[in-house]
Structure 1
Amino acid sequence: MFHGLTYPGIRCIIENLDLSKRILLASRAPAIQRVDKSIPFHVKSVHINENYFFLNNISVVYIPRTRELLFEDTHKEICRQVEPHLEKKKILEKMFNYYLGGRKNIYLDHVLLDCPMSELSLPPNLKLTINKMETRFCDFRDFLPIINARSFPLKEFTARDNKSIFLDHPVVHSAEKLVFHTNAVNMAGIFHDINKLPNKNILIKFDSSDVIAILNVIGNWLNGRKEVGTKYIFSSRFKTNIDEVLAELQLLAEHFKVSGTPYFRIPIDAQSSIQINGIEVNEDGVFVSQLVTEVVSTKKSLEGSK
Structure 2
Amino acid sequence: MTALTYLSLRCVLEYLEANRRLQIAARNRALSRIDKSVPFHISLLRFTDDEITVNNISYTEYAKEDQKIKRLMDGGDILLEDDDIPRKVIHITYSTGNLRFNGRDLPEGVKKGVATRQFACHVLEGRKTIKMTYLRIDNTFEKELRVPENLKLYVQKVRSYGTNMINLVNILDPQCLPLEPFETSVCFPSYYRENQIVANAKILILHGDGFASQIIDWHPTLLKVLNKHVETKDIRLRGAQIREIVQKFMNNPDFKPIGSSYSVQYLYDLSIERLLRKTKNRFNGAFVTLKEIPKCPPTSQVVCVPLNSDKDLIMYRYAGRQVNSRWIKLELRETGSCIPNVEDTTGFRIPWQYLL
- Does the pair score TM above 0.5? yes
**Conserved in 1, the CA contact under 8 Å of 2:319 and 2:327?**
yes
TM-score (norm 2): 0.73
What is the aligned counterpart of 1:294 among 326, 331, 339? 331
Which one-letter code corresponds to 2:183 in the other structure? T
Higher Cα Rg: structure 1 or 2? 2
Question: Cα offset for 1:305?
Answer: 4.1
Q: Which runs of 5+ in 2 are unaligned?
A: 66-89, 290-299, 343-356
Q: Indicate if the aligned counterparts of 1:186 and 1:210 stay in contact, CA closer than 8 A.
A: no
Match of 1:57 in 2: 56
Shift of 1:179: 1.6
How has the CA–CA distance of structure 1 residues 56 and 304 changed in structure 2, closer, same or farther, with 3 Å as cutoff?
farther
Q: Which amino acid aligns with 1:190?
A: T
Q: What amino acid is aligned across from residue 43 of structure 1 in structure 2?
A: I
Report what 2:285 is aligned to: 256
Q: Displacement, 1:252?
A: 5.1
Name 1:175's counterpart in structure 2. 201
* Partner SS, residue 270 of structure 1: coil
Q: What secondary structure, in the 3-state scheme, does the structure 2 residue paired with 1:115 have?
A: coil
CA distance in 1, matches of 2:186, 2:135: 17
Q: Deviations over 1:88-133 (max 9, x none)?
A: 1212111211211222211111111123884222111111111222
CA offset at residue 244 of structure 1?
5.4
- 1:256-303: CA deviation from partner (whole Å, max 9, x where unpaired): 3517961122222233222111122233xx3321000112223113x3
1:111 and 1:235 map into 2 onto residues whose CA distance is: 25
Q: Which amino acid aligns with 2:164?
A: D
Q: Which amino acid aligns with 2:11?
A: C
The yes-or-no answer on 1:71 pairing with 2:101 is no
Kindly indicate whether residue 256 of structure 2 is the aligned counterpart of residue 231 of structure 1: no
Q: Does the alignment pair 1:221 with 2:246?
A: no
Which protein is richer in helix relative to its size? 1
Percent identity of paired positions between Structure 1 and Structure 2: 21
Question: Structure 1 residues 126 and 259, CA, compared in 2 at 3 Å: closer, same or farther?
Answer: closer
Residue 222 (structure 1) shift: 0.8
* Pairs within 5 Å for 1:135-150: 135-150=160-175
Structure 1 counterpart SS, 2:37: coil
CA deviation after TM superposition for structure 1 residue 24, in Å = 1.2
For 2:203, give the aligned amino acid.
K
Long gaps (5+) in structure 1? none
Q: Secondary structure at the match of 1:222?
A: helix
For residues 153 and 292 of structure 1, do their structure 2 counterparts lie closer, same or farther at Cα, with a shift above 3 Å needed? same
**TM-score, scaled to structure 1:** 0.84
Amino acid at match of 1:61: T
The residue number in structure 1 matching 2:311 is 272
Aligned pairs for 1:188-207 (under 5 A) are: 188-194=219-225, 197=226, 199-207=227-235
Amino acid at match of 1:135: S
Q: Which residue of 1 aligns with 2:159?
A: 134
Tell me the distance in 1 between the aligned counterparts of 2:168 and 2:273.
Answer: 39
In structure 2, C-alpha distance between the alignment counterparts of 1:6 and 1:270, rounded to whole Å: 64
Instruction: Indicate the residue corresponding to 2:127 in structure 1.
Output: 103
Work out the CA distance in 1 between the residues paired with 2:301 and 2:259.
19
Equivalent AA in structure 2 for residue 189 of structure 1: P
Go from structure 1 to structure 2 and tell me whether the alpha carbon gap of 1:271 and 1:33 turns closer, same or farther (over 3 Å shift).
closer
Poorly superposed stretches of 4+, deviation over 6 Å: none
Aligned to 2:321: 282
1:178 counterpart letter in structure 2: L
Aligned length: 296
- The residue type equivalent to 2:135 in the other structure is V
d(CA) in 2 for partners of 1:232 and 1:102? 41
Report what 2:14 is aligned to.
15
1:53-105 deviations in Å (ceiling 9; x for gaps): 11111211223466422212479723333334111121211121121122221
